[in-house]
Amino acid sequence: MEASTTPKPLPNRPDQKMPPLPKGSRIQKRPLPAPLSHRLSSSNTSRSSTLSTIPTDIDGYRPPPRAPHTLIIKVTSNAPFMSLVKRVRKGLESRSSLSRQQSTKGLPLTARIAALDTTSGGSKEGGSGNGLGPVEDALDDVVLVATGRAIQKAVEVGCFFTRERDLMVLLRTRTVRGVDDFVRAEEEDGGGEDGSEKEEGSGARVRAVSCVEVGVRWRAT
């Protein structure tokens, strides 16, 4: 969220456009990368250091870190609405303040000992005082991630939860980058049959995709 002083080209209005596709080529999308999981480690590393390691988006936006317990739900455009609501509810219930005892399983011994100290003070309100607003904001219990046609659905589900008094719903926009292959049109339908299809006429390039994150969390009591 840092305001960069130098005017940076926006991703949707870049200085240089991508070169046009070569004649006779066609785009083939690779699967999108998984939702980012730069979680705040529950170990002794300070939050500011974690913050600095978070990769920035294409537009220089540094997304807030995720809490270790956050449940990430990828929303597909044809997912039933109530199914999503139920999954969010289930996630929230298991992550209510009562049952949220952070597991130290799998951590090294030193981290476990450090976790013992911090948990006594209440892990949730750890960084409220040190001016890390966005960090606190991002400790969602459940995050819905959606791109493309699924954005509408994710926002609808988010709106559904705004009427619950105990919950807080935050919405962030992001940019994710996916990779596209461009292949020769005549060989595209080969599927597994046509084998390797890379040559100077084909290749891969990066495409920016709009993404919405809807964070749902319990209101601090």
Partner 1 sequence: MDNNKKQSASGKAAADSKKRKEAPLNQNQQGKESRPPARPQKRVKFQDARNIRSQPSDAALDDGKLDLQKFLSAREFEIKALETSMRKCKSANATRVFQQVPREMRRRTASHNAKRVPKRLRDRAKREMMEDNTPTVEARKRRPRTTRARIRAENAKRLEKLAARKRKRALQNEAGGENKDEPGKTTIQTRAPRPKIRRDTLNEPPKPKSKFKKRQINKTWLPTHLWHAKRATMTEPTKPLWRFAIPLTPTQKCYRPTHRASGQKGTVFWDTSYMSTARLYGAAGGIEQVLKALGLVQESLWGNRGRKWRSGTRTWSGMVSRRQRNSRRDIGPATILWNPTLTAETAAPESNTTELKKTQRQILIRTHPSCFLELFDELVKLAKLQTPQVHIEDLRFEIGSIELTGPGSTETLLAVLKPYHTEDRHGQVFSSLVGVTNPASLPKDAVLGFSIKDPRLSYPPKRVDTTSKVSDSALLDTLTQWPVEEQVKPYGLFDRDVRFKASSLAPQKSINRRKGASIPGQEMPVTAADPPIPVIAFASRPAAGGQAQGTWTLLAPWKCILPIWYSIVHYPLSTGGNPRLGGLNEQRQIAFEQGTTWFPGDFPGTNAGVVWEMEQRAQRKKAWDRRPKGKRIEWASLDLGAGRKGEIGDGLACDFEHLFGLPTDPSPSSSEDQLTSDVDPNAMDLHPGEEAEDAAKLGKVHKNTVPSLTMVEQMKKTDFQALISSVNPGRPPPRSIISVNITFVTRGVANACARIYRLPSRPSATTTVQSSETEVPATDPVAAGMGSLPADLRDQWLQKIPGNKSGSRSTKAITAHAAPHMSRDVGQGTRKQLMAKSLVSGDPLPYPRPTANQTDIGGGHPLCPGEEDLIGFVTAGAYSLSGGKGTAVGAISAEKAFDMVKESGTKEGRLCIVRNAGENVGWLARWELV
Which of positions 141-180 make contact with partner 1 (CB under 8 A)?
Answer: 177, 179
Q: Distance between CA 92 and CA 216 in Å, rounded? A: 8
Q: How far is CA 96 from the centre of its chain?
A: 21
For position 181 contacting partner 1 by CB under 8 A, the verdict is yes
Query: In the complex with partner 1, which residue's Cβ is closer, 106 or 122?
Result: 106
Q: Distance between CA 211 and CA 191 in Å, rounded? A: 29
> Residue 128 to residues 100, 158, 178, 197: CA-CA distances in angstroms?
18, 25, 35, 54
Q: Rounded to the nearest whole angstrom, what is the least distance from the CB of residue 163 to partner 1 in the complex? A: 28
DSSP labels for 130-143? TT-HHHHHT--SEE
Which of positions 104-143 make contact with partner 1 (CB under 8 A)?
Answer: 106, 108
**Residues 48-77, mask of contacts with partner 1 (x by CB under 8 A):** --x--x-xx-x-------------------
For position 191 contacting partner 1 by CB under 8 A, the verdict is yes
Query: In the complex with partner 1, which residue's Cβ is closer, 6 or 49?
Result: 49
Query: In the complex with partner 1, which residue's Cβ is closer, 56 or 173?
Result: 56
| Stretch of 9-17, 93-101, 122-130, 197-205 contacting partner 1, by CB under 8 A | 197-205
For position 194 contacting partner 1 by CB under 8 A, the verdict is yes
> Residue 213 to residues 95, 100, 147, 174, 209: CA-CA distances in angstroms?
18, 22, 9, 7, 13
Give which of 93, 34, 32, 98 is closest to 66, Cα–Cα: 34
For position 18 contacting partner 1 by CB under 8 A, the verdict is no
Q: Rounded to the nearest whole angstrom, what is the least distance from the CB of residue 221 to partner 1 in the complex? A: 27
